[in-house]
Structures are given as C-alpha cells and as structure tokens.
Chains A and B, each alone.
Chain A
Amino acid sequence: MIFTIARKEFRSLFAAPSTWWMLALLQFLFAWFFFARMNDYLQVQAQLAQMDNAPGATMSIAAPLCSVLALMLMMLIPLFTMRLIAEERRHKTWVLLLTAPVSSTQIVLGKFFGLLLLLALIVGACSVMLATLLIGTHADIGLMLANVLGVLLLAASYAALGLYFSALNNQPIVAAISPLALSFGLWLLELSASDNRSFLRAISPNAHFQNLNTGLVNSADLIYFVLVTVTLLWLTIRRLNDERRRA
C-alpha cells in the first residue's frame, strides 16, 4: 500500500508543470554555479599547485556546489510538501484516503517515499554533473559520495519537516512557508553560533551537513538525520491519527 501511494505521488509530482519548471531552474542554477566554480578553480590552480596540502578539484568545486544544492533544496522542498496533504484537503481529495482501507502510517510513508524518490532523482542528476569532474581530473570519490549522502539525508529531513507542516495546515501556502521559515531560522541561528559546540549548531541540520560536506562521515551526524526524519514522520502520523479521532 505504501508503494501504491508512493508511486501515485511520484507520478502526480511529475505530472505538474510546476515541477518541471522547478527542476529546470534548479538544473540551470546548478550548472551555472558549476561552471563558475570550475572557472575560479582553473584561475587559481597554478598557485594551488605550489601549496602543501592544497584542496583538490573535488574539495574546491564539488563540495561548495553540494552546499548550494542543500540550500536550494531547503527552499524547494516545502513547495513539494505543501501539495502532499494540505492541498489534498483543500481540493477535497483527502476523503478518498480517509475512507479507503489504509492507515495513517501507510499514507504518510507513501507520500514521504514518493517525494524522496523525486528528490533522489534531483540529487542524482546533480551528481552526474559532478561526476564529469572524473573526466578531467582525479576526483576524490569518497568526498563526492559523502556529499551525495549528506544532501540525500538533508533532503529526507526537510521532506519530513515539510510533510509535518502540511499535516498541520489546510492552507498550502502556510504549509510551504512555515517549514521554510523554520529551516531558514535554524540556518541563520547556526551561522550566528559562536563556537562549534554550541546548542544552536547541534540542532541545525545544516551544521550536521557541513561535516559530511567536508568528507567527514560521522555516525553522530547520520544518527541526527535519521532521528529527525523518523521523529517528524512519527509526529505527522500522530497528527493524522488524532485528526481521524477528532476530525
């Protein structure tokens, strides 16, 4: 049943022209940054060659690009998640799921995995662009994979956050703006944190992504992302169950 709902969500997201526009814009921006970083790197490459332990092409081009991708996904994902529950309520299609023999858990997981599949495609397309570095240089594949893993985990937690706000609201716009404001707020708080052990950094998804961004695959960061995602999905399921009881 989870697969049935996930497949429908994935196809519905792809059927919307807005999705194609967003994907096209994302690819264009990503390609633009890619060439800009590449150009910068080529200009300083001669100086870098004379330095000890100079950052390689992967660290100079791929890692900053993944940071940009993480930021773009933070802004983009709420636009997808608002459709998943809040828009269904608004269009009165939600009753179809409520009266079907499916549980709230199946609905939430189906919608989550449907969106995650789309996000994995986005990350995959960007990864292919990064993989073109392999043609011209000895890229650090470990660093690249750590970055891809980081972006995927970050995207999953943003998707779970957006889904939770989608379940809280009937208005799609509010369901989109709320998680965006929260993610953006956490990001700003993390930037303003004075030291690395600050509580603000500990709760910010972006701070945990930064470790993976530099190639450091730390189990604490992985556990953080899994915990955040699972907790938010659980809260969404609880919210829907409460709603079913109270309606």
Chain B
Amino acid sequence: MTAPLTLSARSLVRRHDGRLVVDGVSLELRRGEVLGLLGHNGAGKSTTLQMLTGALPPDSGHIEVCGFDMRKQPRDAKACIGFLPEDPPLYRDMRVDDYLLFVARLHRVPSARLADAVDQAKQRCGVQDCGRKIIATLSKGYQQRVGIAQAIIHNPAVVVLDEPTVGLDPAQIRDIRALIRQLGDISSVILSTHLLTEVESLCDRVVILKEGRLIFSGSSTEMLADRNMEEAFLQITANETAAT
C-alpha cells in the first residue's frame, strides 16, 4: 500500500527582481520518504525550501502540508513542518535548554509535554550534555545539532533540512547522517545538499533543479542507472543544457 502524502507542491513560481528563480516546480513527498534536492548553486533549492516551509510565499502555485493549504491555513500547515535553514536560526545568547523550550512553545507543544519534548530532541541529536551551555559557546557541529533539534522538537510530519552537513568534520557528518536516517523512519524528510554521496546513501527519491526548473524526478536507482552518482548528476544537468 502507498504511504499517505505529507507534502505536495504544485507549479511553484517565484521571481526575484523580475528574474525567475523558481519556475513551475512540483513535487510530492510521502510518509517515511527521504527526498534529496539537488542542483548547482543558484538553482533555486533554498528558495524552493523556503516556500515549502512558509518562510517565503510563492508568486503562484499551491502547497499542501498534511492536507492543510499553506496559504489558507498557514498555522496548521506550519505546525506539521520542521525547518533547518542553511544558517541555523539560533539565538546565540540563550542556553540550549531555554532555546529549545522556546521553540517547543512556539510550535504549540502542550505544557505537560514540554520537558519530554526537549529531552527527546536533545537525546536524538546527541546534545543531552549541552543543555546548560550558551549556544554561542558550542562548536559549529553542536550548533548544527541544536539547529536540527529545534526542527524536530514538535515531532513534525515533514522535516526540511537545507545543507545540514556543510562545514562539519567527517565524524560530525557521519552522526548527522545517522540522525537523518532515523528521522526518515518516522517523518518525511527533504534534504537539500551538494554532496552526492549523501543523496546516494540517504535518499529514496531525488529531484534535480536547474535554473529554477525541475529537470529530474525519480528514485535514486532510476537516477543512477548503472552510473555512479557524480556521473549521473553531471549527465542529467548537461543533457538538460544541450536540450535547452
């Protein structure tokens, strides 16, 4: 049986200063699925993610999260999403516990569950010993973990991660990947990354954006088709350039 849809976006269009940044992108995500979002710099990945999470309204198009329309029912739709942007939105002068408590309250976690939600998010992200620390004093890797913890603290149905492993050392990358794998078991995950190995090891499906348009959508196996990931990616984007 097919898993239920958690997110669907249809014909998203977004312009910046008259220039088309996202041009008719449509995608779907099902429960338990990890979707990789690939593309060169400036392909429109971050803009697409910002639209999916409600940070940026599309000029046209339609987004639905867990059955809630992002335009008409933004609160319900946003309550189903956890978002880690490229720069984690951390209040650097706050303690980790206070910050996570604030985010949990912001996402309407019931008072009785607040302490549990914070503990669980810390546990899952491996920052259980950092609760009393000021965020600014943490290393980049730990700040990234706190960023992921804030994205999953309310157990959202959809977790959106924008380049979560950028700037981390290999051990930290391994830990974050393991965490994303865990998240993929209970939530739907959209992962934007430049690292093709990350997509190969984590993602069930892949979409590739180029100059704001969706040029490939399929399973990782379809994308690979007996090539390695790098070859496949370069070939798909190069074919698209030749076609246009």
Contacts and interface: CB of A to CB of B under 8 A. Distances in A.
- Do A and B actually bind? yes
Interface of A: 1, 4-5, 8, 11-12, 15-16, 91-103, 244-247
Interface string B48-80: 001001111100000000000000001110110
Given A12-B91, A102-B106, A95 B78 contact: no
Nearest to A11: B98
B106 A92 contact: no
Nearest to B91: A93
Main secondary structure of the interface of A (DSSP, over half): helix
Interface in B82-118: 83, 85, 87, 89-94, 98, 102-103, 105-108
A102 B105 CA distance: 11
A102 to B, nearest CB: 6
Given A11-B98, A93-B89, A101-B107, 7 more contacts: A5-B106, A93-B90, A97-B106, A98-B55, A101-B75, A101-B79, A102-B106
A101 B82 CA distance: 11
Interface residues of B, number: 29
B16 to A, nearest CB: 10
Most A CB within 10 A of own CB, among B75, B76, B79: B75
13 contacts: A4-B106, A91-B92, A93-B89, A95-B50, A95-B85, A97-B106, A98-B54, A99-B81, A100-B107, A101-B79, A102-B75, A247-B55, A247-B57
B150 interface: yes
B93 A99 contact: no
A101 B74 contact: yes
